[in-house]
Amino acid sequence: MSDGEASADVASARADERSDLRGKVAVITGAGGGIGAAIAIALSRRGVRLALSARRAETLEALASRLRADPGVEVLALPGDVRDELHIEGLIRETLGRWGQIDVLVPNAGAGYRAPIAEGDPARWKQLLDVNVYGVLLTLRYGMPPLLARRSGHVVFLSSVASRVTQASNGVYSATKCAVNAIAEALRQEVTREGVRVTWIEPGVVATAFQDVAGYSPELRQRLLEDQRPLTADDIARAVVFVLEQPAHVSINELLIRPSDQVSA
């Protein structure tokens, strides 16, 4: 066998490797429903131990109870707000106290709001900035040191196609997701040689309760959710699993996912 053939065989073998997620510990914010809950369910099926955060205690506990019904699934559910520094600090502390490690950090919690800038509600703007940017930063501030201490782990951000293409009435939301991308890229540069991988996923239209909470008009909802086949939360969860299962030498940093028939941003 030539050196070239041997190298090709080694490369092929490495390409077939998948990282085993069993026994890993993942911290997921915004896990009460939608994409966060779907990620939690998908990871539980891979044997991942889960520390989950969400604002609504009853919704979070319902998910935790559903997950614990499967033998071997370990879940820590701590209701709270990602804007609350004490909550985030406690979430990380209790996760480490229970399992002694954190392997996956998913700062998923996010808010939406759609309105023309000249008519916007400043209180809703502040909520967007606090949840989508400050909450992400708090999660990183307390969640990153355990990953760096072990020189391993993976951070998965949930951004949006809106970070790439800005539309009328969606400027402030787009700005927060542009900020997420900037934070993610800076973090990648800071930790990539410390053994930690960083990914930001940018979904297009996803059918969740997000559109209701963000105040989308009925006409816009119809165009987004009925005139095309939107993605589901499970689609995004599968993408997260795909990213996490890549071999250690592979880092998927940016992943844009649109419905196959989505034309507009």
Report the C-alpha gap between 6 and 9 in whole angstroms: 5
Q: Is residue 3 part of a domain?
A: no
pLDDT of residue 4: 59
CATH number at residue 134: 3.40.50.720
Say yes or no to pLDDT of 28 above 60: yes
Say yes or no to pLDDT of 15 above 60: no
Length of the chain: 265
- For residues 128 and 225, the answer to whether their CB atoms sit within 8 Å is no
Q: Is residue 262 part of a domain?
A: no
Domains of the chain: total: 1
The range of the structural domain enclosing residue 57 comes to 19-257
pLDDT of residue 1: 53
> At 210, is the pLDDT very low, low, confident or very high (cuts 50, 70, 90)?
low
Q: Is residue 9 part of a domain?
A: no
- For residues 170 and 220, the answer to whether their CB atoms sit within 8 Å is no
Average pLDDT over residues 6-14: 52
Q: Known catalytic residue: 173?
A: yes
pLDDT of residue 18: 83
Q: Is residue 1 part of a domain?
A: no
pLDDT of residue 31: 98
Q: Dihedral sign for Cα 143, 72, 30, 226, please.
A: positive
Say yes or no to pLDDT of 7 above 60: no
Q: Is residue 13 part of a domain?
A: no
pLDDT of residue 261: 86
Q: Is residue 11 part of a domain?
A: no
SS3 content of the chain, % helix, strand, coil (to 5): 50, 15, 35
Arithmetic mean of pLDDT over the chain: 91
Report the C-alpha gap between 170 and 120 in whole angstroms: 10
Say yes or no to pLDDT of 222 above 80: no
Run of H or E including 87: helix 85-99
> At 124, is the pLDDT very low, low, confident or very high (cuts 50, 70, 90)?
very high
Q: Which residue has the tokens 């934070």?
A: 183
pLDDT of residue 218: 67
Among 113, 134, 142, 173, which one carries the catalytic annotation? 173
pLDDT of residue 264: 72
Count of CB atoms situated within 10 Å of the CB of 258: 17
- For residues 150 and 143, the answer to whether their CB atoms sit within 8 Å is no
Q: Is residue 4 part of a domain?
A: no
> At 229, is the pLDDT very low, low, confident or very high (cuts 50, 70, 90)?
confident
Q: Is residue 263 part of a domain?
A: no
Kindly provide the b/e burial profile for residues 119-151, where b requires at least 16 CB atoms within 10 angstroms of the residue's own CB. ebeeebbeebbbbbbbbbebbbebbbebbeeee
> At 213, is the pLDDT very low, low, confident or very high (cuts 50, 70, 90)?
low
pLDDT in tens, 65-108: 999 999 999 999 999 999 999 999 999 999 999 999 999 999 99
